[in-house]
Amino acid sequence: MRRLFTFLIIVVAFSSCASKFSKILKSTDYDYKYKMAEKYYVEKKYSNAQTLFEDLFPVYKGTPKYEDLYFKYAYTAYNLRDYANAENLFKTFTETFPNSPKAEEADYMRAFSYYKQSPKAELDQTNTAKGMGQMQVFINTHPGSQRVFEATEIIEKSRAKMETKDFLNAQLYFNLGFFKAAAIAFSSLIDNFPDTNKGDEYKLMVIKSYYQYAKMSVEEKQAERFDKVVVESQDFNDRFPESKLLKTVENYKSLSLNNIKINTK
């Protein structure tokens, strides 16, 4: 009985709020409607604020209030996690009000909205790449901004996610036994992320992949393909002379040299 009473109170309260909002939306007192839109915005009732701001566009377009109205409207989309729409709205804001004191923030929020659409590392990273690009544009456009540090951090996080994505793809090739494809993918990882601290690990996977590829090859191709392992091992020594993985690499090199001897007798 008590639960039913509580439920009825919630229903009545919700109906009352909906009725009140409906009256505000139908009102032709635009100053009052604008005031209520801002009230909802401050109270973080972004859906209501968004609806009212949108309804007020034709009324305030071309007036001094329109800039602030549009800026807050863009933020309602962001706060409602409609990041694709938010990105477009912040972009339109900077195009419409290029000299606004809020233009820098809008530029940043446009890039940040792309970043918020960045998915898990296992998924397609198109939005991650776009977010990185937009953050770099922001840094180039506003080099003196206090947000440059944040933008740089986001670029670094995005690059790390894209590196993880490429690593997972390369590892999947290896796990599925597509060793030549794995070797090429791990080599691309090193080329695409030259500042990575995992370069020696990726290079070892290149060597392992080519070794497995050589082992699986027909006899007449094995010597040539084991020689590729030897070349990659020597390249490892040149690139990572201090690596803890040198012994493992030397083992693959020795195994490959032995196989070359056997296959060239």
Q: Map tokens 């020696």 to a residue.
A: 200
Q: What is the pLDDT of residue 110?
A: 96
Regarding predicted confidence, which is higher, 121 or 178?
Answer: 178
Q: Has residue 20 got a pLDDT over 50? A: yes
| Phi, psi (deg, nearest 5) at residue 102 | -90, 0
Measured in whole angstroms, how far is the alpha carbon of residue 84 from the centre of its chain?
13
Residue 68: pLDDT above 70?
yes
Q: Tokens 């992320």 label which residue?
A: 193
Q: Which single residue is written with the structure tokens 């991650």?
A: 128
Residue 215 to residue 183: CA distance in whole angstroms: 14
pLDDT given at position 10: 46
Residue 4 pLDDT grade (very low, low, confident, very high; cuts 50, 70, 90): very low
In the numeric block, which tokens belong to residue 99? 């000299």
Burial class (CB in 10 A: 0-12, 13-18, 19+), 64: exposed
Question: Would you state the torsion angle of the CA atoms of residues 220, 223, 224, 229, taken in this order, to the nearest 10 degrees?
Answer: 140
| Average pLDDT over all residues of the chain | 91
Give pLDDT, residue 24.
Answer: 82
pLDDT tens-place string over residues 88-103: 999 999 999 999 999 9
Question: Which whole number is the average pLDDT over 1-25?
Answer: 57
Whole-prediction pTM = 0.80
Q: Which residue has the tokens 């995992």?
A: 198
User: Which pLDDT does position 264 carry in this prediction?
Assistant: 63
The pair phi, psi for residue 97, each rounded to 5°, is: -125, 65
Domain residues of the chain, as ranges? 177-265
Q: Is residue 1 scored above 90 in pLDDT?
A: no
Q: What is the pLDDT of residue 101?
A: 95
pLDDT in tens, 46-62: 999 999 999 999 999 99
Average pLDDT in the 234-263 region? 92
pLDDT of residue 111: 95
